[in-house]
Amino acid sequence: MSVPPTPSKDFIREIIDEDLSSGKHDGTVTRFPPEPNGYLHIGHAKSICLNFGIAQEYGGRCHLRFDDTNPTKEDVEYVDSIKEDIQWLGFDWGDHIYFASDYFEKLHEWAVGLIEEGKAYVDEQSAEEIRKGRGDLQNPGTDSPHRDRPVAENLEMFQRMKDGEFGDGEKVLRAKIDMAHPNLNMRDPVLYRILHAEHHRTGDTWCIYPMYDYTHGQSDALEYITHSLCTLEFENHRPLYEWFIENLPVPSHPRQIEFSRLSLNYTVMSKRKLLQLVEDSHVSGWDDPRMPTISGIRRRGYPAEAIRDFCKTIGITKFKSTNDISLLESSVRDVLNRGANRYMAVLDPIKVVVTNYPEDQVEEFDAMINPEKPDLGMRKVSFSRELFIERNDFLEDPPKKFFRLAPGAEVRFRCAYFLRCDDVIKDEEGKITELRCTYDPETRGGENPPDGRKVKGTIHWVSAKHALDAEVRLYDRLFTHESPDNVEGSFLDHLNPDSLEVISHAKLEPNLAAVPVGKTVQFERLGYFCVDLDSSEEKPVFNRTVALRDSWANAQNKS
RNA sequence: AACUCCAUGGUGUAACGGUAGCACAACAGAUUUUGGUUCUGUUUGUCAAGGUUCGAAUCCUUGUGGAGUUGCCA
């Protein structure tokens, strides 16, 4: 009897297992805490899959919490798009949606408590002076001249800060920890700053706003988060996270654990750079199908399931790795191969005239909707005397092992007939305009003929008079450099000039007219394509999601 | 010559002191009415040097390489 292998767990799930078996916790609560200041990208998907995934696996829950402590950068527009993206990824926070701004009152109360205990003080140095006083990586900082201000005075000043008596930047509230601490985050970090800004939820109720460090852990504690999972750059913040938890009357003691953020080659992930791509019109918007944003990926036609699979395969570690985009594409192809319906479409058409086929005759052939799902049955495709095939499916002077059409050669037209090419018609410039072929009636439906003749190649086609005209957008990687983040000069210097190719008159099988916006299908032998939201009844528009694996093209590129 | 963290094939990830495995990629073959899918097989790896141990990717020491941190951003 074979024992099924126990799937290995990442270090975070191992910690959770220990905490559960040791009785430290009797449940698991995680949270996904985006700041509503931009669109989510695939890096966030990793965190979403981790946090919501753990909640599902452990029968716990995952909160969606907006980290909205900086009103100068945030907006409801982003709140909405973030919610949409998480739902699209297939996750549900139920009733557990929170905002850090909901805790402003409690956070303020606790700050007053810190002052009363002599653990916080109002500093009135300028930002520049505070920066200087902090010291640097090699040297300890120096105490602020206001560090030992009496409690009563601190209390009064903090109240006046809150009451709006000071301008932005005039005063801050600082924790009194240790100006010589080797960890810079512990050198009397700022807790509150003055910001006379309208907050998208609290309006003008506040003019002092808590900093991330002072907000995050306490929000976790207030929500009884057990494991607060964040990316590696917060590692140095953990001592401070714990300092607050230990020095404040919080209702629970969450634990911060850091993991490596996602990076992918041939793209950029930072909000700043993505914003620049949008603002400088290198892409059409946040949802441009070339963008690594969730909305871009969705518009590109990547299924949510593929993103989840991908996040599962890359795992969770503390190693700062760069994932190959082919790993993602493999997940996409895998999901799409199983689920996408098949159709025929010709992107770069060349006309074929079947000389021995009657002028007005039309036949309908059956074709599988999806060979991976035979239950779906068949679709009808119309065949007639004039057809379109892919220009690169014909070669006048074919190399060895070329299984497609060539003068005198015979191939199968998928689900239709065997056709032999008799004649090549060219214009004055020598460009091929038409192929004249003959079909073998004995191969109806694409069956092998009674004489046992076989062909190596099967090509796709579309009947000329039935064909649907469409725009097809072919996408390639946005950058030519493997790590555009890591180059001399600007990342923009390495933009791929050919990342978008528009084909305005592709020829589609008419069944494709019924495919709804957002649905991804397979164009046989070419790849997966999805209907773009620019699509209209008069002018269908398809995005290429990802090409099929193409071992023939691979071999050709090599030689 | 600060602190913290990290290091396993080309890429990503397992192995919890006991046979270095899996996925992707690549290559070869079989099947195929998609040069797709599927199946089979092959190539490639423990950063280095010491130490502990019967036995080390794993523990210890030192070195090397990489990342993060000097916002009143998150």
In terms of domains, do A63 and A183 share one? yes
Angle (nearest 5°) at CA A514 between A508 and A517: 95
Q: How far apart are CA A285 and CA A296, in angstroms?
A: 9
In terms of domains, do A331 and A349 share one? no
Given a cut of 70, whether residue A242 has pLDDT beyond it is yes
In terms of domains, do A64 and A168 share one? yes
Nucleotide nearest to A265 (CA to C1'): B11
Is the CB atom of residue A371 positioned under 7 angstroms from any atom of strand B? Answer: yes
In terms of domains, do A512 and A545 share one? yes
Given a cut of 50, whether residue A304 has pLDDT beyond it is yes
Work out the average pLDDT over A207-227: 98
In terms of domains, do A118 and A194 share one? yes
Work out the average pLDDT over A436-446: 97
Given a cut of 60, whether residue A2 has pLDDT beyond it is no
Structure tokens at A33: 């805490």
CA A469 to chain centre: 31
User: Nearest Cα to A544, choosing from A302, A324, A323?
Assistant: A302
In terms of domains, do A388 and A279 share one? no
Given a cut of 80, whether residue A558 has pLDDT beyond it is no
Name A residues 461-520 whose Cβ lies under 7 Å from strand B.
none
Given a cut of 80, whether residue A34 has pLDDT beyond it is yes
Given a cut of 60, whether residue A3 has pLDDT beyond it is no
User: Does any domain span residue A8?
Assistant: no
End residue of a domain, out of A399, A426, A460: A460
Q: What is the residue-averaged pLDDT of chain A?
A: 96
The CATH number covering residue A207 comes to: 3.40.50.620
User: Nearest Cα to A79, choosing from A65, A69, A93?
Assistant: A65
Each residue's pLDDT tens digit, A488-517? 889 999 999 999 999 999 999 999 999 999
Work out the average pLDDT over A20-48: 97
Structure tokens at A415: 């689900």
Report which secondary-structure segment, H or E, holds A388: strand A386-390
Phi-psi region of A473 (alpha: psi -120 to 50; beta: other; left: phi over 0): beta
User: Does any domain span residue A447?
Assistant: yes
User: Does any domain span residue A12?
Assistant: no
End residue of a domain, out of A259, A281, A301: A259
Work out the average pLDDT over A225-248: 97
pLDDT of residue A488: 85
In terms of domains, do A282 and A142 share one? no
The domain tally of chain A equals 3
3 state SS for A123-165: ECCCHHHHHHHCCCCCCCCCCCCCCCCCHHHHHHHHHHHHCCC
In terms of domains, do A392 and A426 share one? yes
Given a cut of 90, whether residue A4 has pLDDT beyond it is no
In terms of domains, do A233 and A125 share one? yes
pLDDT of residue A7: 66
The CATH number covering residue A475 comes to: 2.40.240.10
Q: Which residue has the tokens 């957008």?
A: A473
User: Nearest Cα to A470, choosing from A514, A508, A418?
Assistant: A508
User: What ranges make up the beta strands (E) of A33-188?
Assistant: 61-66, 97-99, 120-123, 172-175
In terms of domains, do A228 and A208 share one? yes
pTM: 0.96
Q: Which residue has the tokens 């970090």?
A: A189
pLDDT of residue A389: 98
Range of the domain at A493: 271-341+470-558
Each residue's pLDDT tens digit, A98-111? 999 999 999 999 99
Given a cut of 50, whether residue A475 has pLDDT beyond it is yes
Give the catalytic positions of A in this structure: 35, 261, 271
Work out the average pLDDT over A204-220: 98
Work out the average pLDDT over A46-65: 98
Name A residues 195-234 whose Cβ lies under 7 Å from strand B.
195, 209, 211-213, 216, 232-234
Q: Which residue is nearest to nucleotide B23 (CA to C1')?
A: A313
Per-residue pLDDT band for A165 (boundaries 50, 70, 90) equals very high
Q: What are phi and psi of A470, to 5 degrees?
A: -150, 160
User: Does any domain span residue A29?
Assistant: yes
